[in-house]
């Protein structure tokens, strides 16, 4: 009798534990997601923690939840966390686990996209630069050298995020492997199977994995594998039947399960020089969302919250277009956290949905920004000479990768053993070079215009400030930077006398604010690569923007923070976002590294930059 009672209580205990088990799955017959054995749908928003200042993570997450969404979708860029090989960073602004926990605290589920390739208009598509040092490695393939590196990273990352899985008490529902792999010509199924198997080995084969591909037969064919749920992506469409066409393609490969648009585009990224305003209107966004909803689909708005590619994290697409520093994306929540008409319309639309328990909260507020006025910045004489450090002599110029200097700039010094110079041609330049002879700026070259006529006789020194403008993020290639294969010609001759010199914004900051007095340019125009220094004195700290009228192209460093690139002559972006966390009460040190010059100012009449409340764009609207 006692044994029966004991067995009964054991059974009840087991049943109680089983009934409390957290589980997320797919019912392929009923065409639904299941959350704890109940039908589930999501309206998600894409957000990039790596593009948002740490102090505003919670603000953006609150706004997403306040909008009525119940999930976020988020990439994890490998190169952000392992910039240096075997040196992993998951602290402070790199603490992705804290970001996921914060999302859970705000009532948001997570659809996680760890790559290892992410695209996202992010430098090198999220792949570490050091992978490209091995020119024989085949990226995004089953090449054993590539897989060995992925395996190491995967073991670190998956064990980090494992406690945040829904089944473990966290909020991660699904994990995407790779990203739009069907758009890549490799079509290597063994690689995708490796990612699937490695993920399941660490996390368990009950974790739902998914892929995302463009809504075309060819892309889904190469991007889908057995055991991984395929989803599609598409933006605004003109009619309901087009939505069904896209979902019919998904159904062809999913063999059941729910309909999912993993990237519903509320806007698009902007490239330097792309000044045509070409974003979907709010009505079209709501119409397409309505059609997807009526088909019982789940979807993720890309982007729900815009951001900023600070430092040198912007990508380059395969047509050579360089992505702007701002990744505002015309998102419902803008780069600076402001909400507007699109956000309000989405919020209103969700509030009217039947049987949607994650109702909007209507509590989102914009963040205060400040206009601090203009300040004077003064140009430094012989800036380039002062910036070069750790120069390495070689018979040929070192690439960024060979120098282990992944981002920003290298300075090359070359001796031609000649007493005259008429022509310079550097077809091996990646991406741009600014040429200085005898401390005089003589012109620029780049990948599409690599020749320059000069006229020098006697003794002369040549310096080439070489800019890495961002590695290709779409499809990915071995996008090596610097002067490649010694393809540099001086009057049609190569040189065997080179120095390659290291330069970072940290070097700039150390030199010009921590090493005493500088010599300023007097009564001369600012031409070519030049450092300009200034100080912003403030009594209250708020977000702001900096605009640089008259300046051409360069980067801005504030209190040691590289806030990104400007390129005014190309547009459309004409200002850079400065979050409050980059500023302090009192004096703030401002460094501008101008590459081409500002002929409208000098030390006599002054060079000025402006700290303004709102962003500036010079769009050409039709």
Q: Which residues are catalytic?
A: 180, 263
Distance (Å, whole) CA 491 – CA 421: 6
Q: Among all chains, which residue has been given the structure tokens 């790596």?
A: 50
Q: How far lies 196's CA from each of 118, 142, 227, 417, 476, in Å?
A: 16, 13, 8, 57, 21
Q: Give the three-class secondary structure for 151.
A: helix
H helix runs in 261-340, sequence order: 282-294
- State both tokens at 12: 């009840």
Distance (Å, whole) CA 563 – CA 310: 5
Q: How many whole angstroms from its chain centre is CA 425?
A: 33
Give 577-590 as a DSSP string. EE-GGG--SEEEEE
Cβ 158 vs Cβ 203: under 8 Å: yes
Percent of the chain that is helix, strand, coil (3-state, to 5): 25, 30, 40
Q: How far lies 251's CA from each of 54, 244, 256, 258, 480, in Å?
A: 39, 10, 6, 9, 40
- What residues form DSSP beta bridges with 565? 555
Distance (Å, whole) CA 531 – CA 293: 53
CB atoms within 10 A of CB 370: 18
CB atoms within 10 A of CB 244: 17
Q: CA angle, 398 as apex, 393 and 399 as ends, to 5°?
A: 160
């Amino acid at each position: 009798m006692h044994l029966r009672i004991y067995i009964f209580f054991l059974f009840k205990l087991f049943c109680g534990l089983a009934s409390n088990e957290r589980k997320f799955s797919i019912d392929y017959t009923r065409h639904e997601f299941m959350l704890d054995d109940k039908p589930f749908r999501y309206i998600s928003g894409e957000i990039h923690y790596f593009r948002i200042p740490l102090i505003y993570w919670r603000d953006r997450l609150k706004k997403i939840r306040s909008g009525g969404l119940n999930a976020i979708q988020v990439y994890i860029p490998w190169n952000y966390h392992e910039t240096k090989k075997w040196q992993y960073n998951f602290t402070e602004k790199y603490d992705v686990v804290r970001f996921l926990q914060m999302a859970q605290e705000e009532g948001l589920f997570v659809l996680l996209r760890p790559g290892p390739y992410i695209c996202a208009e992010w430098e090198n598509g999220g792949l570490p630069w050091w992978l490209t040092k091995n020119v024989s490695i085949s990226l995004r393939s089953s090449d054993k050298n590539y897989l060995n590196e992925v395996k190491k990273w995967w073991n670190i990352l998956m064990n980090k995020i494992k406690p945040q899985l829904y089944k473990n008490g966290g909020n991660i529902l699904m994990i995407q492997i790779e990203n739009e792999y069907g758009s890549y010509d490799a079509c290597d199924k063994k690689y995708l199977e490796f990612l699937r198997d490695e993920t399941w080995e660490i996390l368990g084969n009950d974790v739902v994995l998914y892929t995302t591909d463009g809504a075309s037969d060819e892309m889904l064919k190469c991007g889908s594998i057995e055991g991984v749920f395929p989803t599609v992506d598409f933006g605004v469409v003109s009619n309901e039947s087009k939505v069904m066409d896209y979902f019919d393609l998904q159904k062809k490969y999913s063999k059941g399960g729910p309909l999912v648009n993993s990237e519903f585009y509320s806007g698009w990224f902007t490239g330097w020089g792309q000044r045509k305003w070409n974003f979907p209107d709010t009505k079209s966004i709501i119409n397409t969302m309505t059609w997807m909803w009526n088909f019982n689909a789940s979807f993720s708005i890309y982007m729900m919250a815009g951001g900023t590619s600070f430092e040198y994290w912007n990508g380059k697409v395969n047509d050579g277009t360089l992505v702007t520093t701002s990744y505002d994306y015309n998102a419902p929540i803008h780069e600076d956290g402001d909400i507007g008409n699109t956000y309000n319309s989405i919020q209103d639309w969700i509030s009217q949905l039947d049987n949607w328990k994650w109702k909007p909260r209507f509590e989102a507020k914009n963040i205060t920004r400040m206009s601090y006025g203009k300040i004077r910045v003064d140009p430094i004489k012989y800036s380039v000479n002062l910036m070069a450090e750790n120069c390495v002599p070689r018979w040929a110029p070192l690439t960024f990768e060979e120098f282990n200097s992944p981002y920003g700039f290298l300075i090359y010094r070359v001796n031609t053993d000649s007493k005259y110079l008429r022509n310079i041609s550097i077809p091996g330049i990646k991406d741009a070079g600014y040429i200085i002879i005898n401390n005089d700026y003589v012109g620029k070259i780049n990948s599409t215009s690599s020749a320059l006529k000069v006229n020098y006789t006697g003794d002369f020194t040549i310096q080439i400030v070489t800019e890495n403008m961002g590695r290709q993020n779409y499809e990915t290639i071995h996008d090596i930077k610097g002067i490649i294969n010694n393809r540099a010609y001086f009057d049609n001759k190569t040189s065997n006398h080179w120095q390659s010199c290291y330069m970072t914004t940290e070097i700039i900051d150390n030199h010009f604010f921590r090493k005493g007095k500088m010599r300023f340019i007097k009564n001369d125009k600012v031409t070519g690569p030049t450092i300009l220094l200034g100080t912003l004195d403030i009594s209250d700290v708020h977000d702001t923007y900096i605009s640089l009228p008259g300046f051409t192209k360069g980067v801005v460093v504030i209190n040691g923070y590289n806030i990104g690139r400007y390129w005014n002559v190309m547009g459309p972006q004409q200002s850079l976002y400065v979050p409050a966390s980059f500023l302090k009460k009192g004096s703030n040190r401002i460094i501008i590294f101008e590459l081409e010059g500002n002929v409208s100012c000098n030390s006599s009449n002054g060079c000025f930059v402006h700290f303004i409340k709102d962003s500036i764009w010079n769009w050409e609207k039709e």
